[in-house]
Amino acid sequence: MRHQVNRMVSSTQSQEVIKRYREGELALAEALQILSGNSAGSPDQTALVSKSKLLEYMTRMDDLVGLGEVKQTVREIFAFVYMQQKRQERHLKSEPTVLHMVFRGNPGTGKTTVARLLGEMFRECGLLAKGHLVEVERADLVGEYIGHTAQKTKEVVGKALGGVLFIDEAYSLARGGDKDFGRESIDCLVKSMEDNRNRFIAIIAGYPKEMDEFLRTNPGLPSRFPIHLTFPDYSVEELLKIARQMAENRQYRLEFTAEAKLRRRIAQLLSDGASRNFSNARWVRNTVERAIRKHAVRLFDNTQYSVEDLMTLTWADFSWEGDRL
């Protein structure tokens, strides 16, 4: 009879664990560990790491233009996760994996793209149950009256459980003085990171200088974000390569004259010292998409056009306000 009761309890527990996994409350590695009866101590987060999967995602990371130091740090992170698995297999001590991050960089330097890819990689590792990205800003976290901010922040964290919470321009939470509700959101976020340890990864992002100042606003912040990645502005050649990739992904190509005109415009924007206000790859994406629309209008007015015409963006498709070229 005692064994029968134990089996019933075990079955009930298993159903609860499966339910929590499906709802994103548990990572796959943690759920399997509990189901196997090895729930004591810290979860074995690295038990399901697949080296082949990691290499596959690292290839996707390497395909991104530029970001040399970012790619190197990401490789270090996943090499660490993988080797923790190997140490555990040989009954050696393993280090706890704290993966909350700070992304420093100007707009359009790849921060959101890398955050989304990291979420997928952490899911494959069993570190996250879902690996989805929840991208928010100040307005999504800060309320209008006492108690509202804590409620909004908790709701956002709830949506991010099992995935990555990406807070863009995080330093805006600290603006407005000590009585601003943004401070309440910071405190609530710090507490949520402690209460939901290993259930989601928080990434705070923004301009480098402002992010450094933001980390000094709360004594609990620096120790909770051990990984810092810096996203530099792209060079002219890197931005041109991004433009080519964006065009090719849409089955277009840049004619030589179009590429030359685009190169001059990018160089002019960078030389004007406006890099802080220049949105890097975002500007390139918007420019290419606008050129495709202009290309469509240009061909629409013609009566005949070849496949080559349908695929080629020329200098006439690229224009900017005040541009004389």
How many Å separate Cα 98 from the centre of its chain?
16
Any idea what the CATH number is for the domain that residue 304 is in? Answer: 1.10.8.60
Contacts 24+ apart (CB under 8 A), 18-24: 21/129, 23/162, 24/129, 24/130, 24/161, 24/162, 24/163, 24/199
Per the domain annotation, does 249 fall within a domain?
Answer: yes
CA distance 55 to 61: 10
Q: How far apart are CA 260 and CA 254, in angstroms?
A: 9
Q: Three-class SS of residue 232?
A: coil
In the chain, the number of structural domains is 2
Domain identity same for 220 and 285: no
Same domain, 75 and 207: yes
Neighbours of 322 (CB within 10 A): 5
In a domain? residue 28: no
The DSSP call for residue 139 is: H
pLDDT above 70 as % of the chain? 80
Q: pLDDT digit of tens for each residue in the chain (325 aa)?
A: 444 434 433 566 666 656 665 555 565 555 555 555 544 334 444 445 667 777 888 888 899 999 999 999 999 888 888 888 788 888 888 777 788 999 999 999 999 999 999 999 888 877 888 999 999 998 899 877 777 888 899 999 999 999 999 999 999 888 766 566 778 888 888 889 888 888 899 999 999 999 998 888 877 788 889 999 999 999 999 999 999 999 999 999 999 999 999 999 999 888 875 555 688 999 999 999 999 999 999 999 887 889 999 999 999 999 876 554 3
Of the candidates 149, 140, 217, the one whose C-alpha atom is nearest the C-alpha of residue 184 is 149
Closest CA to 201 of 282, 88, 139, 114: 114
Which of these three, 197, 231, 265, is where a domain ends? 231
Are 56 and 172 contained in the same domain?
A: yes
Based on the domain organization, do 163 and 307 belong to the same domain?
Answer: no
Cα four-point dihedral sign 197, 127, 33, 87: negative
The answer as to whether 66 is a domain residue is yes
pLDDT at position 247 = 96
Helix axes 236-249, 256-271, angle to 10 degrees: 140
What count of other Cβ atoms lies within 10 Å of the Cβ of residue 186? 22
Structural domain contains residue 264: yes
- The residue among 231, 266, 295 that closes a domain is 231
What SS3 state is found at 188?
helix
Amino acid at 140: D
| Residues 241, 226 share a domain | no
pLDDT of residue 29: 54
pLDDT digits (tens, 9 = 90+) for 5-41: 344 335 666 666 566 655 555 655 555 555 555 443 3
> Whole-angstrom Cα distance, residue 21 to residue 33?
12
Spatial strand order of the sheet with 201-206 comes to 133-136, 164-168, 201-206, 101-105, 227-231
Residues 6+ positions from 120 with CB-CB distance below 8 Å = 57, 131
The whole-number pLDDT of residue 300 equals 92
DSSP3 helix / strand / coil % (the chain, rounded to 5) = 55, 10, 35
Minimal CA–CA distance to 285: which of 312, 314, 237, 250? 250
Identify the pLDDT of residue 293: 96
Assigned token pair, 155: 């709701």
The CATH number assigned to the domain holding 136 equals 3.40.50.300
Domain end among 231, 265, 294: 231
Residues 254 and 165 in one domain: no
In a domain, 15, yes or no: no
- Both tokens of residue 105? 């960089």
6 in any annotated domain: no
The domain containing residue 117 runs over which residues?
43-231
Residue 246 lies in a domain: yes
- The Cα 239–Cα 219 span in angstroms is 38
Q: Examine the domain organization and report whether 77 and 165 are in the same domain.
A: yes
The confidence score (pLDDT) of residue 273 equals 57
| Residue at 219 is within a domain | yes
Judge if 169 and 252 occupy the same domain: no
Q: Are residues 146 and 265 in the same domain?
A: no
Residues 172 and 244 in one domain: no
- Check whether residue 79 and residue 185 sit in a common domain: yes
Verify that 81 and 190 share a domain, yes or no: yes
**CA–CA distance, 120 with 150 (Å, rounded to integer):** 28
